[in-house]
Structure 1
């Protein structure tokens, strides 16, 4: 998915020639393994099934109920109907000739009127072509007056009275009515025919204020706009003095203003109560304006969309400042807007039809509401390159790359606006020469950004208080184990416990009996006041020292007692006589003594020594106490009666 930025407005290309390489299904299946790692192919979006034509598309419109899209194209001449809730092609139908433009007469696709390039009008229903009729001259545009049920077809050429004509086909009666006669100038050509000479005038376009006063406007080839009342069938006013031919017209939703587009790319905004334009804007490239659409953004801002064959611009209705623009890779034939949304569809010369989504213009239509969440995730990085083989650089950037001496001397630098287009190969070579370590710097920068991102995602809990700071740290440490730190949760955020962390009278006394009972695994050092492990928690060094102290005390007590038990056994390891534990010294660094090993306890290395004093059995029996005589009355014996509970 491609994204372009014009200021603060992002435009996402959902479908079209600028999104991803079109690959057939059979090729995609064969290259499935290699395409798995291709980001361009993986990020593709097929918004609508078969939203394309074999060669080019001519016109596209969305139904009033926003459930159907009808588009026409070639070759062969045909039109497609898509059902939007299913995002699928409903059906395709071929026609005898190329479709110039069409209208949806109903709120869905069931009734449509098509203007053909061979001077025909065709009425289509779901069953097929319902009826067709032939026009006297070639039509240029097509609009529908719902109040009078008349199809109006502006045409080229002059009638018998020397006026241009707008044919009126009454769909209720089923016949032509008297045409509107429009002043399009005289035919000064020599050779005339059915249409007149090559330079004959005509009525190029038409517009109707359908939602307001229902006034009709017709733009001519001589630069004038005529307004007609559909009720009295008479001319109301003429707006003249325009430069070039009028090629596009559009009424505002209120019907009080009219936007006109000319063949030389000028756009003017008129108030119907004044012949002077409120605003004049140059579209830029100088091509004829094809479409004008009044739009309202999600923030209720008034915008106007204008399109020629090269680009689409959306600009402010009040001051004419360009809001955003879109420039596809192929020529544009028609533009339509999905009302009350940010979706724009175009018919163009390329094979796929284009779809653009502007989130700031409005949310996605309900049939593709998933785009609101997808566009930011799947959008590629914004690129400043205008072309694949050229890169735009300003003059300071050229000087930093030592390329300023090439200005005006080679075709590799092409001036454009406030900078130059530089060939991509030359730019890469110059950048590598100017900074050979650019790759390493970029890699280090990305690693740093990744580390900072991971560091910011870590959970940290820190809160400073006046009293009982250890208690606060202990509570926050418990929260970190649960992967959820909140300094205002539980006791820390309860107002009833504020004095526990502010008032000195509530300071926890770790020397008290109550604290030691509740925390038996900790003890307080009386000299330093620090809390250290005790009783249940001891280090390995402390346990070894305690064991050695116990052994030494046993050695001292044994000879003084005089009375020996049956067996006095002492177990001693080889490292207890040393000043340092064995874990602090390596096996090779221990003292090795030559000669015979002494039997003394301190000289034993690498073994254990056991000593005991045996005693005779006679002495044991003499010193043992004699058993006392048993009393038969109290002696427990088995009862003959079997009553177990008698003596209980």
Structure 2
């Protein structure tokens, strides 16, 4: 539900669309799917079920008992009836032609009279179409006189006497009576009695002063207003001199004044006892006035609502000062005020019909009383230092803006508790004068806040768990590479794996043989238990470079442990007794006599069996010390039988 402020009077848009034409069905479905996560869309208010038409709506009215809403629209031409206690559509009924306007004859929807565009007047009941009458000429408006049970239809064209007509249909007798003859000028070039030309003179609108003197008023295309007494069936007064055609009329509930609207957008209020207007007001849009309604607010202030196809204005009846306005994005056809409430309903172009709620005009109707609490909550959702276009400032803040000299000298500062209320516009101007670069500073501040917000949404790998912190860090790094923002996504947020991060029994021991077999690229320091993979090795190296050097005792201990480190050596399974043969490379070993080298002949059919035997460096050093310097125990004086002098080397 959106709110717009026109002055000090907020207007809440309860129902309606932002576009004149609805979206295609397939695009609307896609948009609805995309709005599932939109909080504003999920918290929207649907005032009435199916409060819309397929193309556009023409007229809407509320019954006197405030329990039914009847509306007409197109396309196809149809009638909708909503039952308000259930907030739902009661039924829909199609007609053969477009509806111009209609009236509810009973206190509910059970009897209604409809003026159609094909010169017919249809009488509808809950069972359907009860009776249809055809008019001699096209009708422009429709009113109902409850005292004489007559339906009055102002029409276009001239009768046989050269006058405009207002047809009278007596619903009690079921027949036409003599029409009211209204002076509307003449139609050049067209014989009397015919339908008339395109610009034929006509009686455009009519109004009746119900519950008072019951006078009739007819507005014509020549700018005149005629008043008739339905008792004597005679004209009693004529008010002329209006600029343009008269398109809207409405009597004050007291019956002493009447509001008139013309095709040029000019509105005037007349006292029936004087030809001079009490108030003259220009609507400002230049379009014909469609509706005029006298209203009374909850504080018993008298207002007048006027509307053209672009805007709805509510203004004071006494002096014409503007009170509030509603400007939908679609063209308006008709506006209905739910009496004694703050609700406005509009029939307009576009698929949905609009609903507006003005709390200062009156409370919400009883069938949507929840709107009162909703609007109160929305009105309270304001910051603590900004109240209804006022900024709260303390005395030091006033001094910083050089506004302390206004204290006690003007009503621009309104004292309240430990500070003052200042008009928001005045505050913005004073702040700009005090600091001309305030705009750039505010912009830099907003950019900084946005950057900090983006940084806070990134994964920083700082999720703390009770068990297996290294595994959690590795998973966070993988999620960061995949641009996953939620750090609780995947295994980290799955409740099935919650014990992996909480129960010490599920702790992963990286020093076990099983872990080393499953993760051969991960090396763990047996003393510290730290990960010594390539990445960890470089990070440890960089950390050691940046930190201070270790003491010499710790370095000596590490070198001593390195000497005792177990070294893996390769040995062949078919080695001989000579200890030197095991250090010879496999490809360079001498072949025994009478044995063919299958590797060289290309007849290798199997594999050579190789085992790995650990050997301690300390043991090797002891064996080397125990061996004699030479293996030929000959004295230097004994002569060698071999002529190879290098044999003894």
Q: Same fold (TM over 0.5)?
A: yes
Pairwise CA distance, 1:32: 7.6
Q: Which residue does 2:118 correspond to in 1?
A: 118
Q: Which residue does 2:11 correspond to in 1?
A: 11
Supply the distance in 1 between the matched residues of 2:317 and 2:342 (Cα, whole angstroms).
Answer: 17
Pairwise CA distance, 1:36: 3.8
Q: Which residue does 1:173 correspond to in 2?
A: 173
Supply the distance in 2 between the matched residues of 1:10 and 1:332 (Cα, whole angstroms).
Answer: 20
Pairwise CA distance, 1:50: 0.3
Check the 8 A contact 2:162/2:192 in 1, yes or no. no
Supply the distance in 1 between the matched residues of 2:109 and 2:37 (Cα, whole angstroms).
Answer: 41
Matches within 5 A, 1:111-190: 111-189=111-189
Pairwise CA distance, 1:439: 1.2
Check the 8 A contact 2:19/2:329 in 1, yes or no. no
Matches within 5 A, 1:465-504: none
Measured on the aligned residues, the alpha-carbon RMSD in Å equals 2.9
1:439 paired with 2:446, answer: yes
Instruction: Single out whichever of 34-43 and 217-226 deviates more from structure 2.
Output: 34-43
**3-state SS of paired residue (1:219):** strand
Supply the distance in 2 between the matched residues of 1:439 and 1:21 (Cα, whole angstroms).
Answer: 37
Matches within 5 A, 1:371-450: 371-377=371-377, 437-440=444-447
Supply the distance in 1 between the matched residues of 2:25 and 2:86 (Cα, whole angstroms).
Answer: 21
Q: Deviations over 1:489-508 (max 9, x none)?
A: xxxxxxxxxxxxxxxxxxxx
* Structure 2 residues without counterparts, runs of 5 or longer: 383-436, 454-649
* Structure 1 residues without counterparts, runs of 5 or longer: 383-429, 447-648
Q: Deviations over 1:17-68 (max 9, x none)?
A: 1399978999898888753431331232110000000000000000000000
Q: Which residue does 1:62 correspond to in 2?
A: 62
Supply the distance in 1 between the matched residues of 2:253 and 2:33 (Cα, whole angstroms).
Answer: 53
1:314 paired with 2:314, answer: yes
Check the 8 A contact 1:140/1:154 in 2, yes or no. yes
Q: Deviations over 1:291-345 (max 9, x none)?
A: 0000000000000000000000000001101100000000000000000000000
Cα 1:140–1:19 change in 2 (3 A) is closer
Supply the distance in 1 between the matched residues of 2:441 and 2:184 (Cα, whole angstroms).
Answer: 64
1:355 paired with 2:362, answer: no
Pairwise CA distance, 1:196: 1.0
Cα 1:439–1:187 change in 2 (3 A) is same
Cα 1:281–1:33 change in 2 (3 A) is closer
Check the 8 A contact 2:158/2:193 in 1, yes or no. no
**3-state SS of paired residue (2:374):** helix
Check the 8 A contact 1:3/1:381 in 2, yes or no. no
Q: Which residue does 2:285 correspond to in 1?
A: 285
**3-state SS of paired residue (2:236):** strand
Check the 8 A contact 2:190/2:196 in 1, yes or no. no
Cα 1:192–1:238 change in 2 (3 A) is closer
Cα 1:30–1:262 change in 2 (3 A) is closer
Check the 8 A contact 1:110/1:126 in 2, yes or no. yes
Cα 1:76–1:379 change in 2 (3 A) is farther
Q: Using structure 2 for the length normalisation, give the TM-score.
A: 0.58
Pairwise CA distance, 1:2: 1.1
Supply the distance in 2 between the matched residues of 1:132 and 1:286 (Cα, whole angstroms).
Answer: 37
Cα 1:438–1:193 change in 2 (3 A) is farther
**3-state SS of paired residue (2:166):** strand
Supply the distance in 2 between the matched residues of 1:20 and 1:332 (Cα, whole angstroms).
Answer: 11
Check the 8 A contact 1:189/1:198 in 2, yes or no. no
Pairwise CA distance, 1:93: 0.1
**3-state SS of paired residue (1:437):** helix
Supply the distance in 1 between the matched residues of 2:43 and 2:23 (Cα, whole angstroms).
Answer: 14
Check the 8 A contact 1:63/1:69 in 2, yes or no. yes
